[in-house]
Structure 1
Amino acid sequence: MKIWFVNKSNSSFIIQDYEILKRHFDMGNSHDFDVAFSWFANWKSAYAVQKAKKLGKKSVVVIGGYDVAYEPSIGYGAFTKFKETIPAKYVLKNADLLLPVSQFTKREILERIGRKKIRGEIHVVYNGVDTKKFIPSKEKEDIIFSMGRKSKEKLKGIDTFFEAMKFLPYKYEVIGYEKTIPHDEVAKKLSIGKIFCQLSWRESFGMGIAEAMSCGCVPVVTHRGAIPEVVGDVGIYVSYGDPYQTLIAVECAFRLHRFLSERVRKRIQLHFPLERREKTLVEMIECI
């Protein structure tokens, strides 16, 4: 079986999927393939779905969240922009297999389109964390991390994070704020931290949260989107946009770190290991 991996990217989670499929299948191209595999319902994946349909081939699309989001108050999501809604709807209606990264994202697919209009199957396949790469350092430091680009301050709650940090005596850093850094460097940074804040308006999965938890960082997060699916009962929840709640939660997280750190990592090892995603992806594609 040959896989046409449609939209290669420098995003770590997309690279991971490419490496997974490369290990198990022959890699084809747009002229020679059995299955077209795409990330996100966009123009590139719409072209791949249309071509696969025309040739009698199969199409698989991972729904990452932005592609089904409608958040007009912060100007986020494909469904807030007419030109992005067109390919998103086509993909959701016509792909043979949709793989949302969370139950939250699956619900959004059904809200946007409705099950009767979707031709293919829908299966949630959670993102996976390389728990052998994202490991806690033996020498943890009193550092608080968050993650997100400067251009996404409102979406990621970074403005709230900075406001809360003004009143705390600890070192802190927003990873990737000014520029994207290598994945290995992200793992190195998270390994020494104790607390990870993701104060987002929404997360369709929360890869940064999961990787930080794998490193034993106690999560301080909002109860939005798919975040509760990832964090469960091993984190501390705060309201979106509330710096006062955030600083209290961070102080609490520091006090609880030695009790929660192992539980936090264990949750990722049990529920979101990369090996599970690999096994499920391969099985899904082989059975399509």
Structure 2
Amino acid sequence: MLLGKRLGVKSIIILGGADVARDPELGYGIWLSQWKSILVKRALRSADCVLAVDQSLKEEAKILAGYNGSNITTLPTGYDALFWKPGLEKRNDILTVAVANDKARFRIKGIDYLIQAAQQMPATNFAVIGVEPSFAYTFRPPLNIKFYPAMTQEELLHFYQESIVYCQPSRREGLPNALCEAMLCGCVPVATNVGGNSTAIGDSGFLVPYADVASLISALKEALSSGSELTAKARARIVSLFPKEKRERELLKIIAGLAE
């Protein structure tokens, strides 16, 4: 970054949720490392442009890097609504997608709380994609929750299309791709009220406090019986707010502005 400044080369940093993570309780996040945090702080302050996928990440970056964030622009991720689309029949109950194959990520993604909810909803089927079954079963989940390793987008599409509810029980998030993809596929969203989850869902689903298992169970039950109105509303929200073409246009505009 500093070399680029000296050479007159413009720089852009793209922030995701992990880039502004600092969770001492779980020992998670690059900001827990003194030397890494110094490097990231300098990079953020010296970049010509920093792009955050959600306003919540911009605010966190300003606090962690200790500056006004004047070079930070919020530019949400864009999604392909022609690929991520509803299927013909909803046959499965609740789906969660989270790459979480160590204890810290498992808790960051809230899978431990999802397991607690599943234990109290024995007649409901849960599926979690992105967690190796051999690792997940060390947490002794109930029989009504199944775990699958990471999949291709084509394989994932079918799970989205066949699931009634998508659940994002995370401790922290940016603007979650899986949540938005699931909404495009007609899943009713249920998520914790953290980070960009509320930005994605708005009034088209259910938001609950993190780690409040009772509220999560209540929201999941309501979502399962909510009918087709929220299904259509969830898809329409992502189509309207986060089209892939909009992100491409805005990104090109930002690059052109830096090149002037």
TM bucket, shorter chain: 0.7 to 0.9
Partners of 1:194 and 1:257 within 8 A in 2 = no
Match of 1:286 among 235, 247, 256: 256
| CA offsets 1:154-198 (integer angstroms, 9 cap, x no match) | 101101111211233232211111132212222221111110111
Identity %: 32
SS in 1 for 2:126: strand
| CA offsets 1:125-170 (integer angstroms, 9 cap, x no match) | 0011111111111111132101212321110110111121123323
Work out whether 1:243 is the aligned partner of 2:213: yes
Partners of 2:93 and 2:224 within 8 A in 1 = no
Report the equivalent of 2:90: 140
Runs of 4+ in structure 1 deviating by more than 4 angstroms, as ranges, are: none
Matches within 5 A, 1:94-173: 94-116=46-68, 121-148=71-98, 149-151=100-102, 152-168=105-121, 169-173=123-127
Counterparts of 1:239 and 1:115, CA distance in 2: 29
Report the equivalent of 2:41: 89
SS in 2 for 1:99: strand
Matches within 5 A, 1:5-44: none
- CA 1:157–1:58 in 2, change beyond 3 Å: closer, same or farther? same
CA RMSD of aligned residues (A): 1.6
Work out whether 1:62 is the aligned partner of 2:14: yes
Following superposition, the deviation at residue 257 of structure 1 comes to 3.2
1:128 partner amino acid:
G
Matched positions, count: 238
Following superposition, the deviation at residue 61 of structure 1 comes to 0.8
Match of 2:181 among 211, 214, 220: 211
Counterparts of 1:231 and 1:78, CA distance in 2: 28
Q: Which runs of 5+ in 1 are unaligned?
A: 1-48
SS in 1 for 2:175: coil
1:121 partner amino acid:
N
1:150 partner amino acid:
N
Report the equivalent of 1:43: none
1:177 partner amino acid:
V
TM-score w.r.t. length of structure 1: 0.78
| CA offsets 1:43-71 (integer angstroms, 9 cap, x no match) | xxxxxx23321211111110112222222
1:75 partner amino acid:
G
Matches within 5 A, 1:73-84: 73-84=25-36
Following superposition, the deviation at residue 106 of structure 1 comes to 0.7
SS in 1 for 2:11: strand
Counterparts of 1:183 and 1:50, CA distance in 2: 37
Partners of 1:143 and 1:193 within 8 A in 2 = yes
Following superposition, the deviation at residue 237 of structure 1 comes to 1.8
Match of 1:258 among 228, 249, 255: 228
Q: Which runs of 5+ in 2 are unaligned?
A: 133-148
Counterparts of 2:232 and 2:221, CA distance in 1: 19
Report the equivalent of 2:192: 222
Following superposition, the deviation at residue 244 of structure 1 comes to 2.6
Following superposition, the deviation at residue 112 of structure 1 comes to 1.7
1:90 partner amino acid:
R
Report the equivalent of 2:138: none
Counterparts of 2:197 and 2:31, CA distance in 1: 21
SS in 1 for 2:45: helix
Counterparts of 1:182 and 1:82, CA distance in 2: 36
SS in 2 for 1:92: helix
Counterparts of 2:29 and 2:236, CA distance in 1: 32
